[in-house]
């Protein structure tokens, strides 16, 4: 798909496409996304924040006026869009986690989404986890089957509404979304990413299966983006997961690191152990906007002391050593032809699976070739939902 704005900055374009995609389930309006984007200076993180915040604040104020006047549908819709716009506003600021603008925008995202949830019958939940809690939302359905969902490297539990929760809920599924360690709600409590994701999903399933309306024989797990590696990792070690969706599939998060630093894990780890790697990474960040964002966000979300430390940690995030082969439940792997982040990764995961498996390849002709099919969410989520309905028929 050719960019229609930010032609020289693939990261700004993808994040704009991400918001365009959320139109499908009420997370944006075309005119609001386009006019906000047209005010942004390409490559300027401050400009990105300022313009998205201005749009979010304006939409929030209008939603609040509607609510005060008793116009609940208008208020609900406005709060949902504003939540997504606040999410966008703080997206590129994570190079300095102490930047106060991050918490202002994140608080706006959560506050607006909770206002939407309260108006929509979606329940807020706090899931017990290692002496603290993980934030999430419970959508009570009518069909008996339940889908547990988490995001990946940078997305929030609130954004999962657009990335499948709404689509599954309207089909009758129960849906439980949550933020795990390294993801926005948990990260702000000091919980950083961990590769042994089964120890995250385990407590979530304990919480879910205590609900009397949940059928423990019909529970699926869906992971988005990097969650397409984390969710399979959990499914490999937890037999309570009866179906798995990798949206999109990821076999080895460290593959790009290894390829750039020596070709294999041990060579990459050795190269990254040298202080001179810092200069190499700084140069890469200066010339590649995607790497600049990924390295700064990853350093925070992984609790690493530097981009070098983040990349070293990333080498542990994979489904090798027989982990993928341990998965026994039916598994759906999604793949996007033009995925800038994980090209070839879904196919690698699919190849290593020994369970009942399905690969769906989304194409440019369908407008679905972007990472996680951003821009084609109705199409993608129809296929994912149809697969789940067949599995649990």
Cα-Cα-Cα-Cα torsion 301, 380, 240, 313, nearest 10 degrees, comes to: -20
Residue with tokens 């090798």: 320
Catalytic residue among 19, 37, 66, 225: 225
Query: Three-class SS string for 333-363?
Result: EEEECCCCCCCCHHHHHHHHCCCCEEEEEEC
3-state secondary structure of 296: helix
- Compute how many other C-beta atoms are within 10 angstroms of the C-beta atom of residue 256: 18
Contact criterion met (CB below 8 Å) for 94 and 300: yes
Respond yes or no: is residue 225 known to be catalytic. Answer: yes
3-state secondary structure of 246: strand
Closest CA to 236 of 118, 111, 139, 320: 320
Task: Respond yes or no on whether the N-terminal peptide bond of residue 248 is cis (omega within 30° of 0).
Answer: yes
Tokens standing for residue 314: 């990333």
The helix-helix angle for 10-21 and 72-89 (nearest 10°) equals 160
DSSP 379: H
User: Is the torsion defined by CA of 304, 177, 352, 324 positive or negative?
Assistant: positive
Long-range CB pairs of 46-55, under 8 A, 24+ apart, other chains included: 48/12, 48/88, 48/89, 48/91, 48/92, 49/89, 49/90, 49/92, 49/93, 49/101, 49/105, 52/85, 52/86, 52/88, 52/89, 52/105, 53/85, 53/86, 53/89, 53/101, 53/104, 53/105, 53/108, 55/85
Contact criterion met (CB below 8 Å) for 140 and 123: yes
Cα-Cα-Cα-Cα torsion 252, 258, 259, 261, nearest 10 degrees, comes to: 160
Return the active site residues.
225
């Amino acid at each position: 798909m050719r960019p229609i704005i930010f032609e020289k900055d693939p990261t700004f374009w993808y994040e704009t496409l991400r918001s365009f995609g959320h139109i499908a389930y009420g997370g944006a309006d075309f005119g609001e996304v386009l006019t906000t984007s047209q005010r942004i200076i390409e490559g300027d993180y401050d400009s990105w924040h300022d313009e998205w915040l201005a749009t979010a604040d304006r939409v929030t104020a209008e939603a609040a006026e509607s609510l005060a006047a008793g116009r609940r549908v208008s208020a609900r819709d406005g709060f949902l869009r504003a939540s997504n716009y606040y999410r966008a506003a703080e997206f590129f600021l994570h190079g300095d986690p102490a930047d106060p603008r991050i918490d202002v925008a994140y608080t706006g995202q959560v506050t607006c989404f909770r206002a939407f949830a309260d108006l929509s019958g979606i329940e807020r939940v706090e899931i017990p986890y290692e002496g603290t809690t993980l934030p999430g939302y419970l959508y009570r359905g009518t069909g008996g089957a339940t889908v547990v969902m988490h995001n990946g490297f940078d997305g929030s539990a609130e954004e999962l509404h657009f990335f499948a929760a709404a689509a599954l809920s309207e089909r009758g599924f129960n849906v439980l979304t949550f933020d795990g360690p390294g993801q926005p709600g948990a990260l702000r409590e000091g919980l950083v990413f961990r590769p042994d994701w089964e120890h995250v999903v385990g407590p979530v399933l304990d919480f879910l299966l205590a609900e009397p309306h949940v059928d423990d024989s019909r529970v699926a797990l869906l992971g988005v983006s990097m969650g397409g590696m984390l969710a399979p990792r959990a499914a490999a070690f937890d037999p309570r997961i009866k179906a798995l969706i990798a949206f999109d599939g990821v076999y080895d998060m460290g593959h790009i690191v290894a390829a750039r630093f020596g070709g294999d894990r041990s060579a990459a780890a050795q190269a990254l152990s040298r202080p001179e790697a810092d200069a190499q990474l700084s140069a890469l960040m200066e010339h590649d906007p995607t790497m600049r964002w990924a390295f700064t966000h990853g350093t925070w979300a992984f609790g690493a002391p530097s981009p070098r430390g983040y990349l070293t940690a990333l080498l542990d995030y994979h489904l090798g050593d027989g982990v993928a082969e341990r998965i026994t439940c039916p598994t759906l792997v999604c793949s996007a032809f033009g995925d800038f982040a994980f090209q070839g990764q879904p196919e690698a995961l699919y190849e290593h699976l020994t369970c009942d498996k399905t690969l769906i390849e989304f194409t440019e002709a369908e407008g679905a070739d972007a990472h996680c099919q951003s821009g084609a969410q109705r199409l993608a989520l129809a296929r994912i939902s149809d697969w789940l309905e067949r599995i649990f028929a």
